[in-house]
Each structure stands twice: as structure tokens, then as C-alpha cells.
Structure 1
Amino acid sequence: MNPELKPCAQSTHYFLRDHGMLMFEAENVLFRVHEYFLHRDSPVLRDMMPVEISPNGPEPIFHLDGVRSKDFEQLLWLYYNPAVTVYDAPKTTWHAILKLADRWEMDNIKKIALGNLLKAADLEPLERIMLCERGDLSRDQATEAYITVCSREAPLTVEELKTLSTEVMVIITCAREQIIALRGNAEASAVDVVKTALKKI
């Protein structure tokens, strides 16, 4: 004989409401994914999503204008990563995720992307400088990168210059000119020049 069932209470944290699935389109590629994660993490996407979708009506498609399908796919990988705690990806993936996290105000995702990007062994000094100029790093956290770029033998390439703001180009150009004039002195001179240039901003 089965014991009498007692009334059940809902878990405060883990009685999840079914947000269902949603379809997104980026560059003519369709994605059908769980609504929950994007609804939770992005106030921008949350505003795009309907309060309720009719079960009998056509499934709406949300168009992600200006978003590369590959970038959106990489963001989704973060949610559907089968390794759970292992985020093994090249820096290009983290750059793409960081860009979308900025666009959609996904603060927690931004922290994950930035943390993994900074751990990348192949992160170039100029990339660290650009993270600083975006406001993701302090000037102190990018000082070594500035010193490396300003004191290197090779000048900045055209492609590198295209990635820099006018302010950063002025800092690097002025510091490089002063460092060239100081060639032959102690290495500390280059460090002092760069630190002085950064303090003027």
C-alpha cells in the first residue's frame, strides 16, 4: 500500500520555469536554442524576447542584424560547452565572445571572456593595449605592453595602426621617438619615457 503523498513545496532556486526555445538568425544562418540563458544574461536580448509565445502560432525568428553567425555560434558554445568547467578556445573565440558581450550588456559573460583572453599565451602586446583603451584593463595593467611596443625595433605596420585610436597612436609615436633619441642609455630610460607618456593622459 502506497503511503499517502504529502503536498510538495517548490524549490526556491531550482524550480525552473520553462522559457522554451527560440530561433535566431545571423547572416542567414538559423539557430534554435534555449531562451533561458540569453534571457538571464542579457537585458538587451531580454527586451527582444516576447513575454509569451503562442503554442499554435508560427515560431518567431529574431534577426541579429550586424552579428556574424560564427561569433554567435562561439557565444553559444560557452553555454553548451560539454566540458562545463574547461573553456579551451583560441583567443579569436574570446575576442568574438567579448564583442557580443559588450553589445548585449552581458556582464558575467564579459568577465569570463576577458579572463580567458588575458590567460592566452599568444595575446599580443597591442591586443592588451586595446583592451586597456576599451576600459577592460587599467593603464597599470597595460604598461608592460606599452613598453614592449614602444621599444621594439620594428615600426608599427599599417594594419596595426588601423586598430589603434588617435590617442594611442600619439602616445606610442611620441614615446618611440623619444626612446630612439635615448638609444645607448640604460634600458630603464625607455620604461621611464613610456610611463611618463601614459601619465599625461
Structure 2
Amino acid sequence: MSYNGTYASFSLAGGPEDAAAPAAEKVRRHPKYYLNGGDVHFLVENYIFRVHRYFFERESSFFREKLGAAPPPGQAPRGSSDVNSFPLDDVQEQDFARFLWVFYNPKYYVYDANAEEWISILKLAHIWRFLEVKRMATRYLEDFTLDPVRKIELYQWYELDKRLLIPSYVALITRLEPLSLDEGRRLSLETALLIATARECAR
């Protein structure tokens, strides 16, 4: 669905801590994911998304709790309109659009995305407890060759199956160069020490 740009200008201030914010910020309907028939509105950065709450309540215990909460007396449920959008803090518009693509992919079961896009999807699926989406993102990420350190870092952070990291550990143990200082910082101390010990044993 196309949209021609600015939807409205209104203050997003929600309390005393927002007093220093600009008096008004331009909020736009998202050009792709402001959908006819959508029944929940999310505010991500300065974009309003209107999508179907069915997917969120079906797949995520996090959203079943959040969207199912009763509003205060006399107030509309959060997420029921543009001006009462459900804010998703600390989420980037690009990441949320990538995440929604899983449910609104026009090619049905042909999920053609690059590694960075799947990492965005994995991140939000982990945070919001979309277990099936998390499994799906992991499965597609396995088709890519990621830098071993980055793969270990990601898979540990998002609590994925440790067995999937065996090839990455082998690559770091058998390569000529030891872990750099930066690589060691990115991994946990325990992981870095185990790799260093394994390298010594492999000599």
C-alpha cells in the first residue's frame, strides 16, 4: 500500500522526562505496512504501522500479554488508533519492517532475504518471544557463511542451539592467527579462554 508521506504532526511527549523533547514531531504512516484491515497500530520511531494483531497474539506470549491488557476505565485500548498507537521502544523502523515481512511476504513460502535482514528478524523474534519466527530465522541464517566470531557472538546472545557453533569453533581453533583483542572482547571471557586452550592443545 502506498502512502504519500506525512500523516500528522503531534507531540509524542508522555511525561515529565519528555519535557525537553521538541513540541511536535512529524509522524508518518508507514509507506508499506499501514494496511487496510489492520486492527493494531504500532509506533516505531516516527512511523505508524497498522497491521493485524492476530499474528502477534498467535505467535508471541509477550504480545498476548501486552495487547490483552485491559485499558483504564474510559480509555480506548492501546494500539486501537493512530493517535493511540502502541509504542515499540528501542526498535528501528527498518528492523520492524523486516520483521513484518515474515508475515506479509507476497511470495508466500519463498523467503529471499540476506543475512543482515535475517539477523534483524532474529533479534526481534528473540526479544518478543516469537518462537517459530526465531526458529525460521535461525534455519535461514544457517545457509550463510558468517564470520566465526560474529556467528558465535550472535548465537550466544540470542540463545540458539550451541551445536550449530561447532564449525565456527573449529575454524577459530585451527586458523593460524590467535584471537585478536577485539575478537576476545566480543566473545565472553569463558569462550575466549576455551578457544585459546583448545588452540594450545591442537598444536
Q: What residue is the counterpart of 1:31 in the other structure?
A: 49
Paired residue total: 158
Q: Are 1:95 and 2:113 an aligned pair?
A: no
Q: Secondary structure at the match of 1:174?
A: helix
Instruction: State how 1:39-118 maps to structure 2 within 5 Å.
Output: 39-50=57-68, 59=82, 60-118=84-142
Structure whose residues are more often strand by fraction: 2
**Alignment partner of 2:192 out of 165, 169, 189:** 169
What is the root-mean-square deviation of aligned Cα atoms in Å?
2.5
Matched residue of 2:89: which SS? coil
Q: Displacement of 1:65 after TM fit?
A: 1.0
Q: Deviations over 1:132-187 (max 9, x none)?
A: 53541234x422221111221233345433431121111122223444xx2xxxxx
Partner residue, 2:40? 22
In structure 1, what residue type is equivalent to 2:53? E
The one-letter code sitting in structure 1 at the alignment partner of 2:138 is L
1:168 is aligned with what amino acid? T
Structure 1: gaps of 5 or more residues:
1-18, 183-201
Whether 2:175 is the aligned partner of 1:152: answer: yes
Counterpart CA distance in 2 for 1:26 and 1:157 is 37
TM-score (norm 2): 0.67
State percent identity of aligned pairs.
35
Matched residue, 2:161? 137
Structure 1 residue 74 displacement after superposition: 0.7
Structure-1-length-normalised TM-score: 0.68
Once the 2 structures are TM-superposed, how far is the Cα of residue 70 of structure 1 from its aligned partner? 1.3
For the Cα contact (< 8 Å) 1:98–1:109, is it kept in 2?
Answer: yes
Deviation at 1:92, TM superposition (A): 0.9
Structure 2: runs of 5 or more not aligned: 1-36
Distance 1:58 1:105 in 2: 25
Whose Rg is larger? 1
What is the DSSP-based 3-state SS (H/G/I as helix, E as strand, rest coil) of the residue aligned with 1:49? helix
